[in-house]
Amino acid sequence: MNIGIAQINSVIGDFPGNVKRILAAYRECLDAGADLVVTPELALVGYPPRDLVFKSQFVPQCLQALDYLAGEIREVPLLVGYVDHHHPERTGKPFRNAVAWLENGEIRHRIWKTLLPTYDVFDERRYFEPSESCEPISWKGKRFGVTICEDIWTEDYLQRPLYDRDPVKELLGKGIDLLLNLSASPFHQGKPLVRRAMIGGISRGAQVPVVYCNSVGANDQLIFDGHSLVADAQGRITAQLPGFSACSRVVDPFQPAVQEAKLDTCDTEQLYQALVLGVRDYVVKCGFSTVCLGLSGGIDSALTATIAAAALGPENVYGLTMPSPYSSRGSVDDSFALAKNLGIHCTELPIRNAFESIKSAMQPVFAGKPEDVTEENMQARLRGIMLMALSNKDHHLLLTTGNKSELAVGYCTIYGDMCGGLAVISDLPKVCVYEISRWINREREIIPWNTIDKAPSAELRPDQKDQDSLPPYEILDGILELYVEQQLSAEEIVARGFEEATVRWIQRRVDLNEWKRHQAAPGLRVTAKAFGIGRRMPIAQRFVG
CATH code where residue 122 lies: 3.60.110.10
* Whether residue 186 sits in one domain with residue 88: yes
Q: Are residues 450 and 324 in the same domain?
A: yes
| Mean pLDDT value of segment 12-25 | 98
Q: Judge if 205 and 295 occupy the same domain.
A: no
Do 219 and 284 fall into the same domain?
no
Which of 386, 248, 415, 412 lies closest to 324 in space, CA to CA?
Answer: 386
Answer whether residue 37 is part of any domain. Answer: yes
Q: Does residue 162 surpass a pLDDT of 90?
A: no
pLDDT of 259: 74
Which of 435, 466, 497 is the C-terminal boundary of a domain? Answer: 466
Model confidence at 91, pLDDT cuts 50, 70, 90, reads confident
pLDDT, tens digit, 9 for 90 and up, residues 457-488:
666 667 667 676 789 999 999 999 999 999 99
Average pLDDT, the chain: 93
Say whether 412 sits in a helix, a strand or coil: coil
Contact 208, 233 (CB under 8 A): yes
The answer to whether position 545 is within a domain reads no
Residue 393 in any domain: the answer is: yes
Mean pLDDT of 182-194: 95
Residue-wise DSSP of 460-514 = SSTT--GGGTS--HHHHHHHHIIIIIS---HHHHHHTT--HHHHHHHHHHHHHTH
pLDDT score at 256: 77
CATH value at residue 356: 3.40.50.620
Q: By the 8 A CB rule, do 211 and 230 touch?
A: yes
Nearest-angstrom CA–CA distance, 183 and 146: 11
Same domain, yes or no, for 157 and 38? yes
| Catalytically active residues, by annotation | 41, 113, 149
This prediction's pTM: 0.94
With 60 as the cut, is the pLDDT of residue 156 above it?
no
290-446-431-186 Cα dihedral, nearest 10 degrees: 40
277 and 303 share one domain: yes
Q: What is the pLDDT of residues 105-127, one digit of tens each?
A: 999 999 999 999 998 999 999 99
Instruction: Note the pLDDT of residue 349.
Output: 96
Q: Are residues 57 and 75 located together in one domain of the fold?
A: yes
Who's near 363: CB < 8 A, 6+ residues apart? none
Same domain, 427 and 504: no
Q: pLDDT grade, residue 143 (50/70/90)?
A: very high
Assign 223 a pLDDT band (cuts: 50, 70, 90).
very high
Domain co-membership, 445 together with 475: no
Domain end marker among 438, 466, 494:
466
Q: Which residue has the higher pLDDT, 255 or 215?
A: 215
Region 48-58: what's the mean pLDDT? 96
* Domain membership flag for residue 521: no
Residue 265 falls inside a structural domain: no
Q: Which domain holds residue 493?
A: 471-512
Last residue of a domain, one of 466, 501, 520: 466
- pLDDT bucket at 347, cuts 50 / 70 / 90: very high
Q: pLDDT tier at 202 (50, 70, 90 boundaries)?
A: very high
Domain count, the chain: 3
Same domain, 100 and 136: yes
What average pLDDT score do residues 281-298 get? 97
Q: What is the mean pLDDT of residues 302-311?
A: 98
pLDDT higher than threshold 90 for residue 455:
no
Residue 530 lies in a domain: no
pLDDT above 60 for 158: no
- Co-location of 415 and 458 in the same domain: yes
